[in-house]
Amino acid sequence: MSDLRTALDAVLADVPPARLADSVRRLIADYRGGRPAEEPLLRNMVDATAYAAYRMPATHAAVTAALRHLPPIGPRSLLDLGGGTGAAAWAVADVFGTVGTTILDQVPEALKLGQRIAKGRLEADWRQWRLGDEAPDEADLVTVSYVLTELTEEDQRSLVGLAAGAARQALVVVEPGTPQGYRRILTVRDQLLAAGWTVAAPCPHQLACGMRGRDWCHFSARVNRSALHRRLKDAQLGHEDEKFSFVAATRTPSGTEGRIVRHPTFRKGLVTMQVCREDTVVGPVLVSKREGSRYKAARDAEWGDRWPPHSSGSEPD
Ligand SMILES: C[S@@+](CC[C@H](N)C(=O)[O-])C[C@H]1O[C@@H](n2cnc3c(N)ncnc32)[C@H](O)[C@@H]1O
């Protein structure tokens, strides 16, 4: 993250916040609206710059957190569909190191800006591409981050089908951590399971989601705000928590016994965690001080972690 922050600061240093304010306002409204876009939401270089300034650190943090839940696949190539200014490619580089990277997006200004931000730090092939164009080449890992929001249901299905067809090892789809984002992720999950993929995370099972109908599965990633970011969002706090929903799928089976799906709570020698279990039940697990090392592990446990922590899953700690 530090590298992306430095790179963003270098490119955005001279941009007056007032120039981006209208774009930020419109983009926030468009993304909150959650309707499929008939026209690209990023219309020009000012929009792309506004996006990079106020959203890219957050989407980067969410994708990084999602990628960390993949089993150790060691990808050598990445295809990022709807990659925009390249947040997911930075996340992949942070988690897996240098990989051969292709970033496809419909908006040339976003690609151009992404290339400028990445200059000297992140090598990639940045190409203009729109869903409906020729199918992309295969890669070990394919990412689709914060893209489905902009598409009709039919187009979401086509994009996920293309992504799955191109992914040799793994596919990670990330959406906003809202009830709508979660519902889109559930549909992607169903589509991938039907195509024979294994859900590696967040779910500890391949069955129907136990949260369906009453709650929504989402996680949180801490993002430190830059001075420009704070000014653009008129925010006081030096950080924000990006909520996201995701599915990480692999071609080969992997396992986790359980996943903590909310911030654990701590009260007088008792830790309470909401855990999604292998049998699809989502419910509280209570660990008391009397349980020694289990209590210590529970005190250190965070939202999104596996539970129990040293289960047989192959996910890196
Ligand atoms: C919210 S941005 C996300 C960018 C980046 N993936 C990230 O996580 O920061 C959505 C991106 O999807 C791209 N996109 C939307 N519809 C598309 C389509 N039909 N074909 C190609 N790209 C598309 C947009 O141009 C935009 O750059």
pLDDT at 2: 53
What residue type is 133 in one-letter code?
Answer: D
Per DSSP, the three-state class of 167 is strand
- To test the pocket of ligand 1, the residue of 78, 85, 133, 147 to mutate (highest count of ligand atoms within 8 Å of its CB) is 147
Q: Which of 150, 157, 223 to mutate to test the pocket of ligand 1 (most atoms within 8 A of CB)?
A: 150
Regions of the chain where pLDDT drops below 50: 1, 311-317
Q: Which residues contact 48 (CB under 8 A, 6 or more apart)?
A: 42, 84, 85, 107, 109, 110, 112, 113
d(CA 9, CA 199) in angstroms, rounded, equals: 36
Same domain (yes/no): 72, 199: yes
Domain total of the chain? 2
The Å distance, Cα 198 to ligand 1 centre, comes to 25
Residues 216 and 86 in one domain: yes
Q: Are residues 267 and 205 in the same domain?
A: no
Residues 203, 88 within the same domain: yes
Separation CA 262–CA 70 (nearest Å): 20
Task: Kindly state whether residues 143 and 175 are assigned to the same domain.
Answer: yes
Could you tell me if the CB of 90 is within 6 A of ligand 1?
A: no
- Residue whose Cα lies nearest atom 16 of ligand 1: it is 150
Co-location of 42 and 72 in the same domain: yes
Residue where a domain terminates, one of 250, 266, 298: 250
Query: What pLDDT does residue 312 have?
Result: 44
Q: Which one-letter DSSP state was computed for residue 138?
A: P
Whole-number pLDDT of residue 54: 87
Residue at which a domain ends, from 221, 250, 279: 250
Q: Residue 121 belongs to a domain with what CATH number?
A: 3.40.50.150
Integer angstrom CA distances of residue 267 from 11, 51, 287: 46, 40, 11
Taking the centre of ligand 1 as the mean of its atom positions, its distance from the CA of residue 248, in whole angstroms, is: 19
Task: Examine the domain organization and report whether 165 and 295 are in the same domain.
Answer: no
Q: Which helix (H) or strand (E) holds 25?
A: helix 17-33
Cβ within 8 Å of residue 89, ≥6 positions away: 78, 80, 83, 101, 103, 118, 122, 124, 143
- How do residues 217-242 score in pLDDT, each as one tens digit? 999 999 988 877 777 777 788 888 99
290 shares its domain with 218: no
Residue 286 C-alpha to ligand 1 middle, in angstroms? 41
Residue numbers of the domain that contains 303: 255-317
Nearest alpha carbon, ligand 1 atom 27:
84
| Residue identifier of the C-alpha nearest atom 24 of ligand 1 | 82
Strands 265-267 and 219-224: unpaired
How far apart are the CA of 42 and the centre of ligand 1, in A? Answer: 9
Dist CA 269 CA 131 (whole Å): 53
Q: Same domain for 68 and 32? A: yes
Please tell me if the CB atom of residue 110 comes closer than 6 angstroms to any atom of ligand 1. yes
Tell me the Ramachandran region of residue 86: left when phi exceeds 0, alpha when psi lies from -120 to 50, beta otherwise.
left
Alpha-carbon distance of 178 to 306, in angstroms, equals 22
- 279 and 226 share one domain: no
| 44 and 119 housed in the same domain | yes
Residue 168 shares a structural domain with residue 276: no
Q: Which pLDDT score, from 0 to 100, does residue 212 have?
A: 64
Of 250, 274, 302, the residue that ends a domain is: 250
